[in-house]
């Protein structure tokens, strides 16, 4: 499939996990991609894989802290200028941290909010003018199954993902008459890198986590599982999907 031929896409978090898999999926389908991350080594690995795949001529990588308003303003403007416009934004960047809620510091809480929720807002705000100019722009944001189902020790993380989900619904309605679509993916039971070490408390009761096992397959799925859904949502195949979330968890929360 070449659903992204002629399409220009900005992906955050392209240095690892689902963001990285999404970059390669869109490149494989003919798209031009700018991807940003704070992980310089990860971006280098993404570029090296693109070179091996023969898609490096359609990829640009850049360091960017999505929680820094000035950096986002400059970075998005550079991406749009380099691409000559923007057709889709994929806000894959985020962090996962865990703690007992009664032991959660304000700094811990604010760090998660700043990166996950505020970072998504800043990237979207700066990208919206370019996305609206196309008349068919798409924003794909990252919620999580934790936004709708109980994930113990992850209250702060879940709050950020619930906020992203509500934010996505609001902008989907606000800009619907201008052709913009906004959708969330809600991954769960995905081996995305950050799920390998969520920083659970040393005394965590793992019996509370037993229900987080997927019903399908032999364990957690790889990032490509989510990247394929994102590619569908950001392409014309998702043209009638907006203001909702797609849960991708192998039946963990049936």
CA angle at 117 for the pair 21 and 87, rounded to the nearest 5°: 50
Indicate which residue of 157, 167, 175, 220 is catalytic.
157
| Alpha-carbon gap, residue 144 to 158, rounded angstroms | 8
What does the alpha-carbon distance between residue 58 and residue 199 come to, in Å, rounded to a whole number? 36
- Closest to 31 (Cα-Cα) out of 52, 51, 3, 73: 3
Do 227 and 192 meet the contact criterion of CB atoms below 8 Å apart? no
DSSP lists the bridge partners of residue 190 as 221
**Of 21, 49, 32, 55, nearest to 192 (Cα)?**
21
Residue with tokens 């679509």: 181
- Across the beta sheet with 59-63, the strand order is 59-63, 32-37, 8-12, 88-91, 138-142, 181-187, 244-248
In angstroms and rounded to an integer, the radius of gyration of the C-alpha atoms of the chain is 17
| Residue 198: strand, helix, or coil | coil
Distance CA 108, CA 34 (A): 30
| 157 a catalytic residue | yes
Catalytic residue positions, numbered: 157
């Amino acid at each position: 499939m070449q659903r992204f031929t002629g399409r220009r896409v900005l992906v955050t978090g392209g240095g690892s996990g689902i963001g990285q898999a999404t970059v390669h999926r869109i490149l494989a389908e003919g798209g031009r991609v700018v991807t940003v991350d704070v992980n310089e080594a990860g971006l280098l690995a993404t570029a090296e894989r693109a070179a091996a795949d023969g898609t490096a001529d359609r990829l640009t990588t850049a360091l960017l802290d999505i929680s820094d308003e000035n950096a986002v303003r400059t970075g998005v403007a550079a991406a749009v200028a380099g691409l000559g416009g923007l057709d889709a934004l994929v806000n894959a960047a985020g962090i996962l941290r865990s703690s007992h809620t009664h032991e959660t510091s304000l700094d811990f809480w604010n760090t998660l909010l700043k990166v996950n929720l505020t970072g998504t807002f800043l990237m979207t705000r700066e990208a919206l003018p370019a996305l609206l100019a196309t008349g068919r722009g798409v924003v794909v944001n990252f919620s999580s199954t934790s936004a709708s189902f109980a994930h113990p020790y992850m209250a702060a993380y879940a709050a950020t993902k619930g906020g992203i989900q509500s934010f996505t619904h609001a902008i989907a309605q606000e800009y619907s008459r201008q052709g913009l679509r906004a959708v969330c993916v809600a991954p769960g039971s995905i081996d995305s890198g950050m799920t390998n070490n969520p920083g659970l408390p040393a005394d965590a009761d793992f019996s509370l986590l037993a229900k987080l096992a997927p019903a399908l397959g032999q364990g957690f799925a790889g990032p490509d599982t989510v990247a394929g859904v994102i590619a569908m949502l950001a392409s014309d195949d998702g043209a009638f999907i907006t203001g909702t979330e797609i849960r991708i968890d192998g039946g963990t929360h049936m």
